[in-house]
A and B are shown apart, each in its own frame.
Chain A
Amino acid sequence: MAATVLVETAIEPARKPGKTPRPRGGMTKKRGIDWLMLALVIVGALLIIAPFYLVLVNSFKSPVDYATSGPLALPESLDFTGIVKFWERVNFPEKVWNSIFISGIVAVLAVLISMLNAFAIGIGRVRGRSWIVLLFLLANLLPQEALLYPLYYMFKEVGLYDSVWSVIIIFTVIQAAFGTYLLSSVYGTFPKEILEAASLDGAGRWKILWRVVFPISRPTLSVLLIFFFIWTWNEFLIPLTFLASNANQTVPVAISVLQGDRLMDVTTTSASALLGIIPTLIFFLIFQRTLTRGITAGAVK
Chain B
Amino acid sequence: MTITTREPRARRAKLPPEEPSIPQRGKGTGGYWLYLLPGFVLLLVIVLVPLGWNVYLTFTSWKGVGTPDFIGLENWAKLLTDEDFWTSFANSIWMVLAMVVVPTTVGLLVAALLFDVVGRKFGGKIGSFLRATYYLPQILPVAVAGIVIGWIVRPGADGALNQILGAFGIAPVDWLGKMPSALIVLMVVLVWVQIGYPVVVFMAALQRVDPELYEAAELDGANWFQRFTAITMSIIRPEIFVVTLTCTIAALKIFGPVYVITRGGPAGSTLVPAYYAYQEFFTKRHVGYGATIATVLTIVVVIVSIVFIRFQNALERKERAGL
Which positions in A face B, CB cutoff 8 Å? 1-10, 17-24, 27, 29-30, 34, 37-38, 40-42, 44-45, 48-49, 51-52, 54-55, 58, 66-67, 70-72, 113-114, 116-117, 119-127, 130, 132, 134-139, 141-154, 169-170, 172-174, 176-177, 180, 185, 190, 192, 195-196, 198-200, 205, 208-209, 230, 233-237, 240-241, 251-253, 255-256, 259, 265-266, 269-270, 272-273, 276-277, 280-281, 283-284, 288, 292, 295-301
Cα separation A23 to B133 with both chains bound (whole Å): 24
- Interface status of B120 (Cβ within 8 A of chain A): yes
Question: How many chain B residues have a CB neighbour from A under 8 Å?
Answer: 128
- For B207-238 the 0/1 string (1 means CB < 8 A from A) is 11011000100000000000000000000001
Q: Which of B39-81 contact A (CB under 8 A)?
A: 39-40, 42-43, 46-51, 53-54, 57, 64
- Interface status of B320 (Cβ within 8 A of chain A): no
- Interface status of B283 (Cβ within 8 A of chain A): no
Name the residue of chain A whose CB is nearest to the CB of B208. Answer: A18
Cα separation A78 to B71 with both chains bound (whole Å): 62
Cα separation A216 to B99 with both chains bound (whole Å): 38
Q: Please give the distance in Å from B318's CB to the nearest CB on chain A.
A: 18
Q: Which of B277-294 contact A (CB under 8 A)?
A: 277-278, 281-282, 287, 290-291, 293-294
Neighbour of A2 across the interface among B50, B145, B150, CB < 8 A:
B145
Cα separation A299 to B117 with both chains bound (whole Å): 24
Chain B residues in 8 Å Cβ range of A265: 158
If over half of A's interface residues share one DSSP class (helix, strand or loop), that class is named, otherwise mixed; here it is: helix
Cα separation A259 to B256 with both chains bound (whole Å): 13
- For B177-209 the 0/1 string (1 means CB < 8 A from A) is 000000000000010111111001101110110
Contact in complex: B113, A40 (CB < 8 Å): yes
- Interface status of B249 (Cβ within 8 A of chain A): yes
Which positions in B face A, CB cutoff 8 Å? 1-3, 5-6, 12, 17-23, 25, 29, 31-33, 35-36, 38-40, 42-43, 46-51, 53-54, 57, 64, 99, 106, 110, 113-115, 117-123, 126, 130, 132-152, 154, 158-160, 163-164, 167, 190, 192-197, 200-201, 203-205, 207-208, 210-211, 215, 238-239, 242-243, 245-247, 249-250, 252-256, 259-260, 273-274, 277-278, 281-282, 287, 290-291, 293-295, 297-298, 301-302, 305
Cα separation A154 to B238 with both chains bound (whole Å): 41
Chain A residues in 8 Å Cβ range of B48: 139
Neighbour of B36 across the interface among A1, A126, A150, A153, CB < 8 A:
A126
* A-B CB proximity, top 9 nearest: A124-B32, A296-B204, A150-B50, A276-B144, A71-B160, A234-B141, A145-B294, A120-B35, A8-B246
Neighbour of B47 across the interface among A72, A126, A147, CB < 8 A:
A147
Known interface pairs A124-B22, A150-B53, A266-B154; 13 further A-B residue pairs with C-beta atoms within 8 A, sorted by A's residue number: A23-B120, A27-B120, A113-B39, A123-B20, A123-B21, A137-B3, A141-B301, A142-B301, A149-B57, A195-B21, A255-B144, A276-B143, A288-B132
Q: Please give the distance in Å from B92's CB to the nearest CB on chain A.
A: 11
Contact in complex: B193, A2 (CB < 8 Å): yes
Contact in complex: B22, A205 (CB < 8 Å): yes
Contact in complex: B242, A300 (CB < 8 Å): yes
Chain A residues in 8 Å Cβ range of B43: 135-136, 139, 173, 177
